[in-house]
Chains A and B, each alone.
Chain A
Amino acid sequence: MGASEEKSVLDAHLLNGLDKLSVRHGDGIEMVNVTENLRELCKRLNAQSIIKVHSSDLFQGTHALEVNNPKLDSHLIVLSEEELSLSCDCAHGANDVERLQYVTSIADRLLRSVITWLNEYQSLPATLLSCRYVEEFLIRNSQRDKALFKFNTDCIYYDQILTNIIAAICYFAAFVKSLLLRAVIFEEEDLNFNSMGLQSFDIMPPQKLILSELQKSLDLISDDSSPMAVHLGHILKAVRCLVHIEDVLTVYSTSTAYLDELIELARSLQSHTLKLEPPAGSFSMGIQKRRSNQFPPKNIVEPDNNYLGFIHMANSIKTVLRVSEADTAVETFQFAYFFNKLKQQHVLARAIFPLFLVRDNQNILGRYSIEDFLFSHLMEYSLMGTQVSEKMQSSPEVFQVLTPALKECANALFDWYQNASQNTARYRQGYNRQLIVWDSVQAQLETAELNFISAEIHDEVISGSDTVATPLMPYASWVFTLKVMVMIEFTLKGFDLDVYKPYEGYDMFWYVSYLAFHLDSCLIKIHCFIMNRIDRIHAMNKKMKKMKAGPKKSKLKEDYQELMSTEMGQLQTNKQYLNYLIAHTKIHRSLSMFQTLQFALLKSHGVIDNKPPMLNQFANAELIHSLRFKPFSSIGVPELPSYAEFESTINRFVVDGEPGSANFVAEVETNMILMEKESATAEEAAKGIIRAIEANDKNGEMFTGTKLVKQESLEYFGELLNSAHAMNINAKDNLKKLKVDPSAAAKRFAVTLKHQSGMSSFYPLFTVVEKKSRRTSCN
Chain B
Amino acid sequence: MENLTLRDYIGNTLYVTLKDGRILNGEFMAIDAQCNLLLDRVREQSKSATAEVSSRLLGLVSVPSDTVEKVEVPQYKMQEMIRSRAAFMQNIV
Partner of A35, one of B10, B61, B71, B82: B71
Does A292 have its Cβ within 8 Å of any Cβ on chain B?
A: yes
**Are B58 and A21 in contact (CB-based, < 8 A)?**
no
Query: CA of A6 to CA of B70 in the docked complex: distance in angstroms?
Result: 34
Partner of B89, one of A10, A21, A39, A53: A10
Query: CA of A290 to CA of B62 in the docked complex: distance in angstroms?
Result: 19
Does A565 have its Cβ within 8 Å of any Cβ on chain B?
A: no
**Are A21 and B1 in contact (CB-based, < 8 A)?**
yes
**Are A42 and B79 in contact (CB-based, < 8 A)?**
no
Across-interface contacts of A48 in B (CB, < 8 A): 33
Least Cβ–Cβ distance between A208 and chain B, in angstroms? 34
> Would you list 20 pairs from A and B whose C-beta atoms are within 8 A, ordered by A residue?
A18-B1, A18-B79, A26-B72, A30-B75, A31-B15, A31-B75, A32-B75, A33-B70, A35-B72, A38-B9, A38-B35, A42-B6, A45-B6, A49-B32, A50-B30, A58-B30, A61-B60, A61-B62, A65-B59, A294-B57
Interface size on A, residues (CB 8 A): 52
**Are B70 and A52 in contact (CB-based, < 8 A)?**
no
**Are A32 and B72 in contact (CB-based, < 8 A)?**
yes
Least Cβ–Cβ distance between A61 and chain B, in angstroms? 6
The 5 closest A-B pairs by CB, nearest first: A294-B59, A52-B30, A292-B57, A45-B33, A31-B72
Across-interface contacts of A318 in B (CB, < 8 A): none
Least Cβ–Cβ distance between B69 and chain A, in angstroms? 8
Tell me how many residue pairs across A and B have CB atoms closer than 8 Å: 166
Partner of B72, one of A3, A14, A34, A50: A34
Q: Identify the closest chain B residue to A291 (Cβ).
A: B56
Across-interface contacts of A30 in B (CB, < 8 A): 74-76
**Are A67 and B24 in contact (CB-based, < 8 A)?**
yes
Q: Identify the closest chain B residue to A41 (Cβ).
A: B6
Q: Identify the closest chain B residue to A66 (Cβ).
A: B62
Not counting A43-B33, A67-B67, A291-B56, a sample of 12 additional A-B residue pairs whose C-beta atoms are within 8 angstroms of each other reads: A11-B82, A31-B73, A35-B71, A38-B31, A41-B6, A45-B33, A48-B33, A50-B30, A56-B30, A64-B60, A65-B58, A292-B56
**Are B22 and A75 in contact (CB-based, < 8 A)?**
yes
Identify which of residues 17-36 in chain A touch chain B, using a CB-to-CB cut-off of 8 Å.
17-18, 21, 23-24, 26, 29-35
Query: CA of A3 to CA of B90 in the docked complex: distance in angstroms?
Result: 8
Across-interface contacts of A64 in B (CB, < 8 A): 38, 59-62
Q: A21-B1, A37-B4, A66-B61 are in contact. Are A53 and B78 (CB under 8 A)?
A: no
Partner of B79, one of A15, A34, A47: A15
Question: Majority SS of interface residues in chain A?
Answer: mixed
Across-interface contacts of A290 in B (CB, < 8 A): 54, 56
**Are B11 and A53 in contact (CB-based, < 8 A)?**
yes
Q: Identify the closest chain A residue to B46 (Cβ).
A: A75
Q: How large is the interface on B (under 10, 10 to 19, 20 to 34, 35 or more residues)?
A: 35 or more
Across-interface contacts of A732 in B (CB, < 8 A): none
Least Cβ–Cβ distance between B18 and chain A, in angstroms? 6
Least Cβ–Cβ distance between A492 and chain B, in angstroms? 40
Does A293 have its Cβ within 8 Å of any Cβ on chain B?
A: yes
Q: Identify the closest chain B residue to A50 (Cβ).
A: B32
Across-interface contacts of B68 in A (CB, < 8 A): 35
**Are A6 and B71 in contact (CB-based, < 8 A)?**
no
Q: Identify the closest chain A residue to B68 (Cβ).
A: A35
Q: A33-B71, A38-B6, A67-B62 are in contact. Are A46 and B33 (CB under 8 A)?
A: yes
Query: CA of A26 to CA of B74 in the docked complex: distance in angstroms?
Result: 9
**Are B38 and A292 in contact (CB-based, < 8 A)?**
no
Identify which of residues 1-53 in chain B touch chain A, using a CB-to-CB cut-off of 8 Å.
1-7, 9-11, 14-15, 18, 20, 22-24, 27-35, 38, 44, 46
Residues of B within 8 A of A (CB): 1-7, 9-11, 14-15, 18, 20, 22-24, 27-35, 38, 44, 46, 54, 56-65, 67-68, 70-76, 78-79, 82-83, 85-87, 89-90, 93
Query: CA of A18 to CA of B81 in the docked complex: distance in angstroms?
Result: 12
Query: CA of A6 to CA of B9 in the docked complex: distance in angstroms?
Result: 24
**Are A292 and B6 in contact (CB-based, < 8 A)?**
no
Residue with the highest number of chain A CB atoms closer than 10 Å, among B9, B33, B59, B90: B33
Least Cβ–Cβ distance between A758 and chain B, in angstroms? 46
Q: Identify the closest chain A residue to B83 (Cβ).
A: A11
Across-interface contacts of A41 in B (CB, < 8 A): 4-6
**Are A7 and B90 in contact (CB-based, < 8 A)?**
yes
Across-interface contacts of A34 in B (CB, < 8 A): 1, 9, 14, 71-73, 78
Q: Identify the closest chain A residue to B78 (Cβ).
A: A32
Q: Identify the closest chain A residue to B45 (Cβ).
A: A27
**Are A15 and B62 in contact (CB-based, < 8 A)?**
no
Across-interface contacts of B7 in A (CB, < 8 A): 51
**Are B33 and A42 in contact (CB-based, < 8 A)?**
yes
Across-interface contacts of B74 in A (CB, < 8 A): 29-32
**Are B31 and A42 in contact (CB-based, < 8 A)?**
yes
**Are B58 and A293 in contact (CB-based, < 8 A)?**
yes
Residue with the highest number of chain A CB atoms closer than 10 Å, among B5, B46, B59: B59
Query: CA of A38 to CA of B68 in the docked complex: distance in angstroms?
Result: 12
Least Cβ–Cβ distance between B25 and chain A, in angstroms? 8
Query: CA of A75 to CA of B20 in the docked complex: distance in angstroms?
Result: 10
Partner of B93, one of A6, A43, A197: A6
Across-interface contacts of B34 in A (CB, < 8 A): 42
**Are B86 and A7 in contact (CB-based, < 8 A)?**
yes
